[in-house]
């Protein structure tokens, strides 16, 4: 297990390229299950992440071969008889649930381990199963598995609204089930996140007929079969946002290439409100900061609102705000694992229900902290970059699930981050 040793207080400058989106690439890879054996799907710009490896492994078990050459992943359907997503893979990565829709859609059966809760909350999948059941599948739960069977799927109206808004992977799952259903489906209260749009665009490139992409009402005219496609994964808006936070918190000047400011309007606006100078072009964002931040209240919301996946990183910035900030988490009310760890670095944060009240401090100090989930880890790295002295961020394997060689790319901007093997204390990778 690795840790990061971060020498804080260094100003980040330069240009970094955002990688392809993890949360788009994962369901796009799962869409390969919809192919007939012999067909292939080529995805370009797939980030090198442990979650992507996990999805490749799962697809391998489901008869799809995944081959990577650089950032291009080619998926070939080989055998369409296997329908089980086993516990030992699903427990490693909740996004494994994305195979449920395409399995039912193409193979008319699925046995997918029920994903458990995780540190960011309970995370049920009732909307996924209800949506797929509405298309005609019989769904039951057996010994920790979701078991689905359908002689045929029929286009219907499916409502995907839940207590916390719509569901991103749930919408992707229902879409992937509906594209091969008989007749027309109407998915109401669909999630509108760019990653969902990317999946829908991919499905259309494979021969599906989806209308209303990007809106909360998707109309899916079922087709008999899909074919292969060759597409580019959209840039990762959360990775780009994390670099924005890293640049801002160090009073830096960083340009993020290969990014989509049009997917990041809420994030850019919040940084600007905090007094960070942000310039944008079609596919780049430049952040210039003097290291002083106005407090900006934030409520996380479904897209196009402020993303929950940027809440922790923005909180790291607000720990240095000139006043009080209230951050309200409306998607995952318990997603505050970073609060106590930021406190170890001198941040003043009080948690009340689904809110965190942050009293800005003049400076943070280096400390040993523990990463608990992907975005919490990112926020600790952001805070450590700004802190006086040295921080150790333990358990960065969480970070490796969603950020492709983050330490190298931060170091290229002037940071000093070492990756160290925890057990032996030996330096195994990135030298500074
Ligand atoms: N929800 C339900 N029932 C469901 C599904 C979701 O009540 O059947 C609730 C959830 O508990 C949550 C809300 O609805 O309160 C939204 O959850 P959603 O289903 O949209 O989340 P997800 O699809 O499981 C994806 C991302 C997450 C991201 C969320 C919200 C992927 C692989 N994961 O999860 O990404 O936080 O959408 O935007 O796309 C991350 O990358 O760090 C990450 C956690």
Q: Do domains 2-19+235-430 and 22-232 have the same CATH topology?
A: yes
What percent of the chain lies above the pLDDT cut of 90? 94
Q: Name which of 272, 235, 271, 224 is nearest 382 in CA terms.
A: 271
- Residue ranges of domains in the chain: 2-19+235-430, 22-232
Pick the atom of ligand 1 nearest to 125's CA: 8
Q: How far is the CA of 25 from the centre of ligand 1 (A)?
A: 15
The DSSP secondary-structure symbol of 55 reads: H
For 322, residues 6+ apart whose C-beta sits below 8 A from its C-beta are 292, 293, 294, 295, 360
Residue 118 annotated in active site: yes
- Residue closest via CA to ligand 1's atom 33 equals 23
Closest ligand 1 atom number to CA of residue 333: 15
d(CA 87, CA 93): 10
How many whole angstroms from 95 Cα to the centroid of ligand 1?
9
- What number does the ligand 1 atom closest to the CA of 27 have? 32
Residue-wise pLDDT for 144-165, tens only, equals: 999 999 999 999 999 999 999 9
Do 305 and 168 form a contact (C-beta atoms < 8 A)?
A: no
Residue 379 confidence class, pLDDT cut points 50, 70, 90: very high
Q: What superfamily would CATH give domain 22-232? A: Enolpyruvate transferase domain (3.65.10.10)
Alpha carbon nearest to ligand 1 atom 40, residue: 309
Among 25, 159, 164, residue to substitute to test ligand 1 (most atoms within 8 Å of Cβ)? 164
- Residue 178 sits at the vertex; the CA angle it makes with 174 and 181, to the nearest 5 degrees, is 150
Cα of 121 vs centre of ligand 1, distance in Å, is 10
* Whole-number Å distance between alpha carbons of 102 and 107: 8
Summarize pLDDT for 385-428 with one digit per residue, the tens: 999 999 999 999 999 999 999 999 999 999 999 999 987 544 44
The CATH number, out of the four listed (2.40.33.10, 3.30.565.10, 3.65.10.10, 3.30.465.10), of the domain defined by the range 2-19+235-430: 3.65.10.10
Kindly list the protein residues whose Cβ atom lies closer than 6 A to any atom of ligand 1. Answer: 23, 26, 95, 121, 123-128, 162-165, 167-170, 191, 195, 307-309, 331-332, 374-375, 402
- Give the global pTM: 0.97
Q: How confident is the model at residue 209 (pLDDT cuts 50, 70, 90)?
A: very high
Of 98, 118, 192, 355, the catalytic one is 118
Q: What is the mean pLDDT of residues 294-300?
A: 98
> Ligand 1, from 170, 302, 371: best to mutate by most atoms within 8 Å of Cβ?
170
CA 163 to ligand 1: nearest atom:
7
pLDDT band of residue 72 (cuts 50, 70, 90) is very high
């Amino acid at each position: 297990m690795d840790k990061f040793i971060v020498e804080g207080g260094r100003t980040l400058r330069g240009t970094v390229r955002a990688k392809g989106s993890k949360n788009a690439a994962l369901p796009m890879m799962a869409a390969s299950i919809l192919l007939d054996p012999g067909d292939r799907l080529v995805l370009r710009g797939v980030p090198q992440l442990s979650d992507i490896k996990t999805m490749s492994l799962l697809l391998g078990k489901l008869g799809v071969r995944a081959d990577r050459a650089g950032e291009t992943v080619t998926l070939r359907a080989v055998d369409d008889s296997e329908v089980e997503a086993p516990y030992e893979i699903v427990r490693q990565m909740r996004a494994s649930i994305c195979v449920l829709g395409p399995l039912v859609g193409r193979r008319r059966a699925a046995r997918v381990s029920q994903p458990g809760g995780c540190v960011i909350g309970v995370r049920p999948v009732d909307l996924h199963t209800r949506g797929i059941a509405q298309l005609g599948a019989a769904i039951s739960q057996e010994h920790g598995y979701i078991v689905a069977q359908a002689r045929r799927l029929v286009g219907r109206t499916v409502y995907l609204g839940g207590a916390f808004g719509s569901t991103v992977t749930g919408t992707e799952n229902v879409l992937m089930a509906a594209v091969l259903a008989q007749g027309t489906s109407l998915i109401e209260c669909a999630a509108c996140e760019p990653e969902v749009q990317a999946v829908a665009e991919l499905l259309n490139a494979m021969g599906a007929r989806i209308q209303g992409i990007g809106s909360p009402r998707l109309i899916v005219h079922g087709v008999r079969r899909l074919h292969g496609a060759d597409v580019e994964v959209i840039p990762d808006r959360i990775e780009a946002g994390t670099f924005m936070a890293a640049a801002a918190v160090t009073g830096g000047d960083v340009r993020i290439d290969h990014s989509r400011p049009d997917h990041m309007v809420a994030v850019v606006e919040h940084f600007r409100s905090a007094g960070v100078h942000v310039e944008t072009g079609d596919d780049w964002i430049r952040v210039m900061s003097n290291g002083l931040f106005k407090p900006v209240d934030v409520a996380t919301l479904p897209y196009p609102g402020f993303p929950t996946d940027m809440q922790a990183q923005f909180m790291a910035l607000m720990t240095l705000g000139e006043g009080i900030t209230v951050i309200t988490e409306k998607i995952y009310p318990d997603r505050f694992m970073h609060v106590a760890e930021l406190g170890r670095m001198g941040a003043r944060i009080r948690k009340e229900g689904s809110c965190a009240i942050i009293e800005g401090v003049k400076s943070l100090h280096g400390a040993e902290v523990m990463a608990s989930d992907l975005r919490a880890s990112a926020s600790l790295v952001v805070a450590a970059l700004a802190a006086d002295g040295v921080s150790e961020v333990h358990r960065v394997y969480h970070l490796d699930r969603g950020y492709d060689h983050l330490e190298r790319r931060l170091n290229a901007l002037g940071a000093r981050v070492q990756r160290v093997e925890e057990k032996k204390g030996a330096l195994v990778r990135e030298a500074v």
